[in-house]
Structure 1
Amino acid sequence: QVTTRRGLEPGGVSRGVSVTDGSGEPVSRREFLKYALTVSAAVALSEVSLGQSIVPPLTEGDEAPSDSTRPKVGVALGDELGEITRGALAAMGGIENVVNPGDVVFIKPNAVGWGTGTIQDNVIVSGERTKPEIAMAVAEECLRAGASRVVLGEGGLSTRFTYPRAYYMDGSLQVKDAIAALNEEYGPRVSFIQTNSPAYPWVFVPSRTNLGQVAVSGPVMDADKVITIPVLKTHHSCAVTIAMKNFVGVTPTGLYGSWRYKLHLCDLGMDQIIVDINRGIAPDLAVVDASIGAEGNAPSVGPDEGISVDMRDRIGSWAVLAGRDVLAVDSIATRMIGHEPLWVHHLRWAYQQGLGELREEEIDLVGARMEEIRMDWIPSSQSGYPQKEEGH
Structure 2
Amino acid sequence: MSMKKWFKGIGAATLLVGMLTACGGNDTNEATDTTPTPTPTETDVVIEEQVEITLSGWGGNPEETALLAETLAEFEAKYPHIKVKHDVISDQYMDVMQTRLIGGEAADVFYLDAFEAPALIEAGVLEPLDLYVTADFDIDDFEKPMLEAFQAEGVTYGFPKDYSTLALFYNKTMLEAAGIEVPTTWEEFREAAIALTQGTDVYGFGAAPELARSYYIGESKGGKIVTDNQASFGDDRVIEALQPIVDMRNIDKSAAQPSEVGSGWGGEMFGQGKAAMVIEGNWAIPFIENNFSDIDFGTAEVPTIDGQQGTMAYTVAYVMNKASDKKDASWKLIEFLTGKDGMEIWTSKGFALPTRVSVAEALGWDKDEKRAAIVAGAPYATVWQQGTNLPIITQNFNNQFLSAFIGQRPLDEALKEAEEIANREINR
TM-score over 0.5 for the alignment? no
TM-score range, shorter chain: under 0.3
Structure with bigger helix share is 2
The structure with more radius of gyration:
2
